[in-house]
Chains A and B, each alone.
Chain A
Amino acid sequence: MASRGAFDGVKIVEYATMVSGPYCGKLFADMGADVVKMEEPPSGDPARQRGPFPGDKPHPERSGLFAYLNTSKRGVALDLDQPHGLEAFRRLVAWADVLIDNHPPARLESLGLGWDQLRQQNPGLIFASLTPYGRTGPRAQAKGGELTSFHAGGLGNLLPTRSEDISRPPIKAGGYPTGYSTGLTAAVAIAGALYGRRASGDGGRLIDVSEQEAVLALVRTNIASTIYHRTVWSRVPERPPALGRLECSDGYVVALLIEDRHWHGFVELMGNPDWAAGPEWGTLYYRAGHLMEIADRIAEWATQQKKEDVHHRGAAKGFAIGSVYNAEEVMNYRQYHARDYFVDVDHPEVGNARYAGWPYKMPASPPAVQRPAPLLGQHSREVLQDVLGFSPDEFADLRREKAVWEAREQ
């Protein structure tokens, strides 16, 4: 039984590489949008060069990064430096409701597809342009990427938390946090603009998303505190009585004790030691000033505990606590399995694997992986002929000119 996706019928062209634009496209594709990913031959999206790879053997059709970020899409490969390749791309963009692009604006402009031309050809087009620093302002042309945008946006400067040695540099969070956050941010704006078109008859829109600002948006409360109170946050100080990270015998837990009852629950968990039993500990203000005095004793208690034991017994006492899980533990996490969080995807080159699913359960329009990530040019023929109306002969000509590429037949 085919269920209906929330974005069924929405046509999206994704001219985007790496994480931000592709994740944005995936969000729509997994909800039923017809997302055509346009890659440039011969190598396509550089994410294909990035791991993980099965057996750690790099192969452009076996990148786990690419496989995850490009589920549910169809893939075409067009050489935009060939006139007929560019013409096919132009027709693709004219077909689309949404164009997701994360190249420097000069790229599309040089192809005669700047925003002015795009909206002339397709007045309803929603054009999302994802760039390191946005399309305007003094740094509009500056090169940027995952690392530099994360630090330019103000989140890197806060990490790692509780850093004891400021001669060591601030860091980026692991993985691709900039790319994912930028993709999510753009998705909200695109989904909104599409809704305006559908419900209120709005026209097309240009959506300008800066990676720096997508990161900055996430530290907006810290920024508010800086503007109000001139406090500047950093990775350095300890911040009792947040408690934060505790090292157990077999790993770490993170706990947050905010209300007094949380503190009492934690003291119970520790077995009510004398040094934490006094009534003075029952107020936030006292703890804020004195927690460091017993921090060593708490740490010593923690080293004698197992993290999962502390995690679940602590949670039962009603305060916020959780284990630091590694990938294996996440993949085996009972809560995720009970909620069917993972999704099995069979990819012709990657093989069968369980992928992370979606954090939203939407019973009336459940997200689903419609198809595995495309091989480079896998759907070139299908899209050009069925969607854009190229005849088989025309398509053959384009193939001969290498204006369009197809996945190698297996």
Chain B
Amino acid sequence: MTGRPDGGGPLRGVRVLDFTWVWAGPYATMLLAMLGAEVIKIESRGRMDIMRRVIVWPLFAPIPQEIPPDQGASFGAINMNKLGVTLNLDRPEGVELVKRLVGVSDVVFENMRPGTMGHMGLGYEDLCRTNPRLIMLSSSARGATGPESHYAGYATVHHAVGGASQITGYPDGPPSTTFGDVDLVNATASAFAVIAALHHRDATGEGQLIDFSQCEGVSSLIGEVLLDYEMNGRSQGRQGNADELMAPHNVYPAWGVDRWVAIAVETDEEFAALACVIGRPELAADPRFVDAASRKRNEAELDEIVSAWTRVRDRDFIANMLTREGIAAAPSRDADDLVHDPHLHARGAFVEVDHPEVGARRFAGAPWIMSDPGVETRRAPLLGEHNDYVFRRLLGLSEEEIAGLQRDSVIQ
């Protein structure tokens, strides 16, 4: 292990060189950092993570290029706990410095188009010459091999190609993609693969190059849908909120504009309790609704009955009433609801970090609570913020050498 020994967290001592950008890579390395790995994000002023300058996503930001590089909101949300350096990889001296860093690192993580790292002289084989035990993960749209390895892609396209959009939407409507969540799910899966490879390396001394396909990442999460085709030749369509066994199982209108509450009833006991809450206790014995199969058969009628009750009531009131009776019920929450959710605050789901340019900001923290975490949340790095630590202390360059490299635009 090569990372700083004084850090905390279960991955302390692991050092990761992070060449990722946008969402799918940066969130993966942030997860590693939140477990204590020392993650060094490598950018340059000419080629910085584009998320630094946009609110969430370049298409939706009104004037993206006018946001200063350290103030992008989504950058801050998925690059916490990392160190940042600026190194110009178009210069051979920059490539040399990367190789020296690889010599004192455990993992290289990148999500450029397949082949890009190789063109810069930073392919896995090049890097293994400096570090034969290196673990490298390359995450790409469709994987590094095969006839479509060069295809570009973003989260919504992966969702479509992977087979998930086809099953998302109203039964009578078009397929729907989701959002960048696909990138963050793939990030999670790729972080898992990297930690697995660390286990393997520690057991055998052997590193490896992990080829991660983001489309495959989508398909691996609909395994049962693909088996339906294998078993029955069926390609499933869209089901809205419906479940194959449960009813009621839907999102119901609540009082107010665009206010909704999700309700899922699993057992006969839960249905009897629901019937009482909505003032229709007789429904529990109604032959149309007497067991799960009957309720599922008469789901449309049931949805009408439940909607008539929910429509004139507050969604939190509904969720609380039903939750108290042991029924799964939750408002369909938007981001503003989440930010103000007292339950999430009680659990510390949001962390506050101080930023020299924008002040204190809250972000969603690690997606788990771990005993003895050993890691405190730190804000995302400013561009080049840790050049001194990395180049002087880690690589042992002198002040003069660093000044020279800065003059020559190698360290930018």
Contacts and interface: CB of A to CB of B under 8 A. Distances in A.
A247 B174 contact: yes
Most buried by A among B195, B198, B337: B195
Interface in A221-268: 221-229, 231-234, 236, 239, 241-242, 244-245, 247, 252-256, 258
B339 A184 contact: no
Given A175-B224, A185-B367, A222-B56, A228 B163 contact: no
Interface string A294-310: 00000000000000000
Given A174-B168, A184-B188, A220 B241 contact: no
B197 A364 contact: yes
Interface in A1-42: 4, 6-10, 27, 31
Interface stretch (B84-92, B94-102, B147-155): B147-155
Interface string B168-188: 111001111111110011101
Given A50-B244, A145-B264, A147-B243, A174 B368 contact: no
B362 interface: yes
B160 A254 contact: yes
Contacts of B154: 256, 258, 320
20 contacts: A4-B203, A54-B232, A65-B227, A151-B251, A154-B335, A159-B178, A171-B170, A171-B251, A173-B178, A192-B10, A221-B57, A223-B335, A223-B363, A234-B258, A245-B174, A320-B153, A335-B142, A350-B231, A353-B227, A365-B200
B198 A195 contact: yes
A6 B363 CA distance: 33
Contacts of B157: 254-256, 320-322
Interface in B161-216: 161-170, 173-181, 184-186, 188-193, 195-200, 202-204, 206-216
A368 interface: no
Interface in A185-219: 185-189, 191-200, 202-203, 205-210, 212-214, 216-219
A135 B230 CA distance: 39
Contacts of A225: 55-56, 73-74, 335
A194 to B, nearest CB: 7
Contacts of A148: 262-264, 328-330
A228 B55 contact: yes
B367 A209 contact: yes
B330 A224 contact: no
Nearest to A160: B176
B56 A53 contact: no
Interface in B69-87: 73-74, 76-78
3 cross-chain pairs, A with B, having the tightest CB-CB distances, nearest first? A196-B10, A174-B167, A160-B176
B184 A335 contact: no
Nearest to A221: B74
Interface in A130-168: 132-139, 142-162, 166-168
B225 A327 contact: yes
B211 A199 contact: no
Given A9-B203, A226-B339, 15 more contacts: A55-B231, A137-B346, A139-B343, A142-B328, A145-B266, A147-B328, A156-B251, A160-B176, A171-B170, A209-B368, A217-B364, A258-B58, A324-B165, A325-B166, A354-B230
Nearest to B166: A326
A326 B236 CA distance: 7
A326 B372 contact: no
Contacts of B160: 252-254, 322-325
Contacts of A255: 157
Contacts of B221: 175-177, 180-181
A155 B323 CA distance: 21
Contacts of B214: 359
Contacts of A206: 370-371
Interface in A286-344: 288, 315, 318-331, 333-336, 338-339, 341
Contacts of A254: 156-157, 159-160, 165, 177
A192 B238 contact: no
Contact of A137 (B156, B164, B188, B347): B347
B199 A330 contact: no
A87 to B, nearest CB: 27
A226 B288 CA distance: 44
Interface string A87-130: 00000000000000000000000000000000000000000000
Contact of A68 (B184, B204, B223, B370): B223
A144 to B, nearest CB: 5
B234 A327 contact: yes
A69 interface: yes
Contact of B368 (A143, A208, A318): A208
A157 B251 CA distance: 10
Contact of A219 (B181, B260, B332): B181
A52 interface: yes
Nearest to A225: B56
A234 B334 contact: yes
Contacts of B208: 362-365
A135 B328 CA distance: 16
Given A147-B328, A173-B168, A188 B349 contact: no
Contacts of A146: 243, 264
B338 interface: yes
